Amino acid sequence: MMILLKRASLTIGILAFISLFICSAAIAQNELTVENVHERTQEYFDNQQWNKLIRLGERALKSGIESYLLRARLGTAYFELEDYAHAIPHFRKAVNTGYSDGIIKRNLYYSCMYTGREEDANDVFFDMSDSRQESIKPLTNDFIYDLEGGGLFSGTNDFDRNGDLDLDGESNEFGEQTLIGNESGFGIRLSQLPLRWLKISYAFGYLNSQREKQYMYGNQKISGKYDQKQGRLFNEFSFRATDGLVIYAAGHYVKTSENTTKAVFDSSSYSVSQSGGIVRGTTPSIKDTLIEQKDFVLSATVYRWFSVFRAGISGSFSYLNGEHQTQAGLSLQAFPLKKPDLLVSLSATLHTQKSVSNLIITPSMGYRYGEKIRLEGFGSFGRMSNYNESNGSVIYNNPDVIKLNYGILLRYDFLFNLTATLSFTGQQREKSFSTYIRTEAGKGSSAITTVYNSADYTSNSLSLFLKYSF
């Protein structure tokens, strides 16, 4: 019996020793040292085992191991998996060591471009060799960074829906309105990159809007068609303050000219009441008049990248259609998937005019199909009048209120750095027209005061723009 117990004890001891030896060997094998990490990450790199490389590399960084090779391999692993947002900080760390080669810089450049960080990509581009720059942008020159141009056409149902409104009301005194018809225009934009941290853009646009002025009194209608012409000049500066932080400052000037008509009442046959109305019994005369107007928008936007997120703040001060406006906004953009195929964003803008504030909410979503096709949809909700967006480059200076703005964009990347953007935009608008009604002015006389009424209509536009990056 004693012999059996001794043999059992000896067996247990041997097994415990073997288990301890195996555990010690496993611990030694899993111990993260610089040599061990470099050896294993090199093995994973050679075999293109990117997920294993990422798991081991991130563990090594958390344990305090830091080296150029580790960062370069980690960045490459994320890059090969198309997880460009997580590849950027590793490539950036590798480049900052001063030992990076051309391939690492090239991959960092494309990682920034694929995630919309164009300013950071330009900063990397300036550090590349001439041959590497030429391979990415064969037509690189000091004067033109990119060139964009195109045209647009829009139509409304304002004439069909509101052309027969009873403008002078039941009393048949007087009424007037402006009908909005088709619009057409074009735009061209040139950008320069004089410094690695500074991009300057210049744009010119022209818009022709077909309109009709209607007057109605005594149930008789007089109308006249005319064109409103707008010339627009836009200038924007973008400053890359540091990695992932960009500041935009812009100005937009608009000159409007229209040969329209105006109702004029003979002052010898009427007097003004206390309410500001005109005395009944007068007949207006319709006279041609030239109206010229100069408007502007000054705006600024700041964007900051945080991995797959981009946060932004914006503000503007403007003078449109004879009124001053201010805007303040917040925006958030994100790539919810590892690959930058899906892009979602949300912005909120507070627009103020004449002490009246309106909140405009704009969600959008974009998706990339393959390497060449990108599709984006958006909608803006709120009352938009004398409103601007995209850092002041887009101005809605039609006096009619936009209640809903929505659209879809299709982008296609051709060869040789050429991109085409086809977009459709729909708007639900609310217009205002004036009707003069008879009221008692006192002492047996009657006067006319103005009542403002509203009517709805829709607008649809289609545009095509081509952009070439040199």
**pLDDT band at residue 26, thresholds of 50, 70 and 90?**
very low
Residue 457 counted as domain residue: yes
Task: Please give the C-alpha separations between residue 114 and each of 7, 49, 50, 137, in angstroms, as whole numbers.
Answer: 69, 23, 20, 16
The type of residue at 280 is R
Q: Which of 115, 136, 157 is the last residue of a domain?
A: 136
Q: What is the DSSP string of 127-169?
A: TS-HHHHHHH-TT--SS-SEEEEEEEEEEESHHHHHTT--TTT
Q: Are residues 95 and 223 in the same domain?
A: no
- DSSP 8-state assignment for residue 283: -
- Looking at the structure, tell me whether residues 270 and 349 fall in a common domain: yes
Residue 82 lies in a domain: yes
- 125 and 157 co-located in one domain: no
Answer yes or no: do 111 and 159 share one domain: no
Number of H helices, E strands in the chain: 9, 17
Please answer whether residues 353 and 386 qualify as being in contact, where contact means their C-beta atoms are separated by less than 8 angstroms: yes
Q: Is the pLDDT of residue 418 over 50?
A: yes
> In the block, which residue shows the tokens 């391979």?
135
15 part of a folded domain? no
Residue in this structure with the two tokens 């001060």, named with its chain if needed = 317
Residue labelled with tokens 């003979």: 266
Closest CA to 275 of 86, 455, 448, 108: 448
Confidence label for 246 from pLDDT (cuts 50, 70 and 90): very high
**Domain contains 2:** no
Q: Does some domain include residue 21?
A: no
DSSP 272: B
Q: Is residue 168 part of a domain?
A: yes
Tens of pLDDT, residue by residue over 120-138, are 999 999 988 888 888 888 7
CATH number for the domain that contains residue 439 = 2.40.160.40
Pairing of strands 387-389, 394-396: antiparallel
- Rounded Cα distance, 302 and 311, in Å: 8
Q: What DSSP string runs through 405-465?
A: EEEEEEEEE-STTEEEEEEEEEEEEEEEEEEEEEEEEETTEEEEEEEEEEEEEEEEEEEEE
5 in any annotated domain: no
Residues 168 and 78 reside in one and the same domain: no
Instruction: Write out the DSSP string of 290-318.
Output: EEEEEEEEEEEEEEEEETTEEEEEEEEEE
Q: Are residues 117 and 247 in the same domain?
A: no
**Mean pLDDT computed over every residue of the chain:** 88
pLDDT tens track for 43-77: 999 999 999 999 999 999 999 999 999 999 999 99
Indicate which CATH number applies to the domain containing 36. Answer: 1.25.40.10
pLDDT at residue 259 is higher than 80: yes
Domain boundary among 82, 117, 136: 136
Query: What tens digit of pLDDT does each residue of 357-385 get?
Result: 999 999 999 999 988 999 999 999 999 99
Q: Is the dihedral of CA 303, 304, 306, 311 positive or negative?
A: negative
Rounded percentage of the chain residues whose pLDDT exceeds 70: 87
Say if CB 50 and CB 41 are below 8 A apart.
no
pLDDT at 288 over 90: no
Statement to judge: residues 128 and 228 lie in one domain:
no
Question: Can you state the percent helix, strand and coil of the chain, rounding each to 5?
Answer: 25, 55, 20
Whether residue 428 is predicted with pLDDT greater than 70 in this model: the reply is yes
Q: How many domains does the chain have?
A: 2
Q: Evaluate whether 326 touches 341 at the Cβ level (below 8 Å).
A: no
Contacts of 208 (CB under 8 A, 6+ apart): 183, 184, 185, 227, 228, 229, 230
Let me know whether 120 and 152 are in one domain. Answer: no
| pLDDT above 60 for 24 | no
pTM of the full predicted structure? 0.84
Plot region of 355 (φ>0 → left; ψ -120 to 50 → alpha; else → beta): left
Q: 84-96 and 68-80 helices cross at what angle (nearest 10)?
A: 160
Q: What is the pLDDT of residue 7?
A: 56
What's the burial of 125, exposed, middle or buried (CB within 10 Å: 0-12/13-18/19+)?
A: buried
CA distance linking residue 3 with residue 115, whole number of Å: 74
Q: Does residue 4 carry a pLDDT above 70? A: no
Are residues 373 and 450 both part of a single domain?
yes
SS3 342: strand
Which of 117, 136, 155 is the C-terminal boundary of a domain?
136
Q: Where would I find the H helices in 81-165?
A: 84-96, 102-114, 118-125, 130-136, 158-162
189, 147 Cβ separation under 8 angstroms: yes
Task: In whole angstroms, give the CA distance from residue 159 to residue 157.
Answer: 6
Closest-CA residue to 88 (of 394, 306, 260): 306
Q: Please report whether residue 107 resides in a domain.
A: yes
How many Å apart are CA 240 and CA 238, to the nearest integer? 7
User: Among residues 451, 325, 327, which one has the least CA distance to residue 399?
Assistant: 325
Which structural domain range is residue 106 located in? 32-136
Which of 114, 85, 113, 90 lies closest to 100, judged by CA? 90
Backbone angles phi, psi at 88, to 5 degrees: -55, -50
